[in-house]
Amino acid sequence: MARVYNFSAGPAVLPEEVLMEAAAEMMDYNGTGMSVMEMSHRSKAYQQIIDEAEADLRDLLNIPDNYKVLFLQGGASQQFAMIPMNLMKNKVADYIVTGQWAKKAYQEAAKYGKANKIASSEDKTFSYIPDCSDLPISDDADYVYICENNTIYGTKFKTLPNTKGKTLVADVSSCFLSEPMDVEKYGLIYGGVQKNIGPAGVVIAIIREDLITEDVLPGTPTMLQYKIHADNGSMYNTPPAYGIYICGKVFKWLKKQGGLAAMKEYNEKKAKVLYDFLDSSKLFKGTVVKEDRSLMNVPFVTGDEELDAKFVKEAAAAGFVNLKGHRSVGGMRASIYNAMPIEGVEKLVEFMRQFEAQNA
């Protein structure tokens, strides 16, 4: 078995325990004589899988009873349209643009109503989170939108914006379950699971019940109505059944690690290994304002594109893969999600130290 240290931003590393369990159950899931992939989503065995996944997620995040958990498809990107279609009752929404994903969501919302860009960090290549304590929130805004962790740029909201009483909607794709969240502060939390939870193809939405209504924009497709999915227990049509099963295994793995408070502690310790090195290095530099640094995605550069490329190539040959930065930022990015063991980061830093010595 030749496993690498996979620093991919997504689809990304998953816990080995989960992969091995899934492998062991591939031919015969729990005495059914078939794989979960081959199973009717209306079967008793599958109903138990999705029910347990939801219950474990509710436990992990302490989700209040007046929130629904939906397992959806279409990627996080489909939510960029689904959110305005369902929530824009006044056809007004305020967007805080802290990266490409928030920008795409903002541009999509503008197709359905008045989307206001009330703050942005684009002036400095999205390398910081703007002050959101007193923004010009629109009186008739249906919601305020953020991307809580910016996967490409490596920034994270450490305090939530002051929405002045308006509903907060957050894309948490790349920080989902990396730490505890106060669900009640949000109207809608959603994320594609392929960053920190499971295989691509599943989107989880946690939505307050009063936001789930039939009053959606005219022409909203059936499949893009939260109410349809909520009323049908995420099984209006065939759900991404195998993906949900893997997510469920990851939820159980997270509970075994001690839950999200323990994950936060571990993730902080893990990120510190890399950030401390970047702060002390003469060759490598982090690209993000210190107080806004993400625990999950760590972009860095040498300041020399050729040297960056050399590093990425040599790192891959040494078993540290997918360290190339996003095409819009260049340089490197190490995504160090829940399932990346601290040893992976320690060994990466050791490798970076050697590279620095050899290329000084």
Ligand X SMILES: *Cc1c(COP(=O)(O)O)cnc(C)c1O
**Site pattern 115..154 for ligand X (x: CB under 6 A):** --------------------------------x---x---
CB 206 within 8 Å of CB 71:
no
Among 167, 174, 196, 287, binds ligand X (CB under 6 A): 174
Instruction: Say whether the peptide bond before residue 11 is cis (omega within 30 degrees of 0).
Output: yes
Q: Report if residue 330 touches ligand X, rule: CB under 6 A.
A: no
> Is position 227 annotated as part of the catalytic site?
no
Of 61-69, 74-82, 83-91, 306-314: span binding ligand X (CB under 6 A):
74-82
Which residue type is seen at 31?
G
Of 20-28, 71-79, 135-143, 264-272: span binding ligand X (CB under 6 A):
71-79
Q: Report if residue 76 touches ligand X, rule: CB under 6 A.
A: yes
Choose the catalytic residue: 56, 142, 171, 292. 171
77 vs 125, beta carbon nearer ligand X: 77
Q: How near is the Cβ of 194 to ligand X at its closest, in Å?
A: 6
Q: Report if residue 333 touches ligand X, rule: CB under 6 A.
A: no
Q: Report if residue 192 touches ligand X, rule: CB under 6 A.
A: yes
CB 231 within 8 Å of CB 237:
no
> Is position 253 annotated as part of the catalytic site?
no
Give SS3 for 186: coil
Q: Report if residue 341 touches ligand X, rule: CB under 6 A.
A: no
Among 108, 142, 171, 308, binds ligand X (CB under 6 A): 171
**Cα–Cα dist 248/239, whole Å:** 14
Among 8, 32, 77, 125, binds ligand X (CB under 6 A): 77
Q: Report if residue 286 touches ligand X, rule: CB under 6 A.
A: no
Q: How near is the Cβ of 173 to ligand X at its closest, in Å?
A: 4
Strand partners, 332: 300, 324
Count other Cβ atoms within 10 Å, centred on residue 62.
13
Strand partners, 6: 321
Residue 314, phi then psi, degrees to nearest 5? -70, -35
> Is position 166 annotated as part of the catalytic site?
no
**Cα–Cα dist 26/276, whole Å:** 42
Kindly give, in sequence order, each residue whose CB lies less than 8 Å from that of residue 304, ignoring residues fewer than 6 positions away.
Answer: none
174 vs 220, beta carbon nearer ligand X: 174
Q: Report if residue 22 touches ligand X, rule: CB under 6 A.
A: no
**Cα–Cα dist 353/279, whole Å:** 13
Q: Report if residue 84 touches ligand X, rule: CB under 6 A.
A: no
Q: Can you spell out the DSSP letters for 104-171?
A: HHHHHHTTTSEEEEEEE-GGGTT-S----SS----TT-S-EEEESEETTTTEE-SS----TTPPEEEE
173 vs 225, beta carbon nearer ligand X: 173
Among 75, 180, 259, 330, binds ligand X (CB under 6 A): 75
Beta strands at 188-192 and 168-171: parallel, antiparallel or unpaired: parallel
50 vs 81, beta carbon nearer ligand X: 81
Q: Report if residue 187 touches ligand X, rule: CB under 6 A.
A: no
Give SS3 for 45: helix
The site that binds ligand X (CB under 6 A) totals a number of residues, namely: 12
CB 295 within 8 Å of CB 271:
yes
Residues annotated catalytic, as ranges: 101, 171, 195
Binding site for ligand X (CB under 6 A): 10, 75-77, 101, 147, 151, 171, 173-174, 192, 195
